[in-house]
Amino acid sequence: MTSAPSSSIRPVPTATQGSTLADVLERVLDKGIVIAGDISVSVGSTELLSIRIRLLISSVDKAKEIGINWWESDPYLSSRSQQLLEENRQLQVRLEHLEQELQLLKGSKE
């Protein structure tokens, strides 16, 4: 029986060999990853609950490249969110005041 020379024995490369968590995360964010699934709970032939799950993980640049940029127009994620909340509160107070005045006017006509 002959043994193979040690120079011909090489480790089999794997996808994770030499990769750190940072490398894997960089690749995922660069390329993007989509996770999709459906969950259905049924009793007999009656479906009680159906959940559709869609998850996209990518970098901001990659998301913009594929046309996803909803966070740019979401007021709760922008710097104007506090200003919009305060304006909303002021409008609600004003509306309540106008409704009270309207009720007073209706009461005085009767």
Q: Do 27 and 60 fall within a single domain? A: yes
Q: Does one domain contain both 82 and 57? A: no
Residues 108 and 89 in one domain: yes
Same domain membership, residue 58 and residue 83: no
- Who wins on pLDDT, 62 or 10? 62
Residues 52 and 87 in one domain: no
pLDDT at 29 over 90: no
pLDDT at residue 11, rounded to an integer: 66
**Band of the pLDDT at 2, cuts 50, 70, 90?**
low
Quote the number of domains for the chain: 2
Question: Is the pLDDT at 55 greater than 90, yes or no?
Answer: no
Separation CA 78–CA 69 (nearest Å)? 13
Residue-range definition of the domain harbouring residue 81: 74-110
Q: What is the mean pLDDT of residues 50-77?
A: 83
This prediction's pTM: 0.40
What's phi and psi for 100, nearest 5 deg?
A: -65, -45
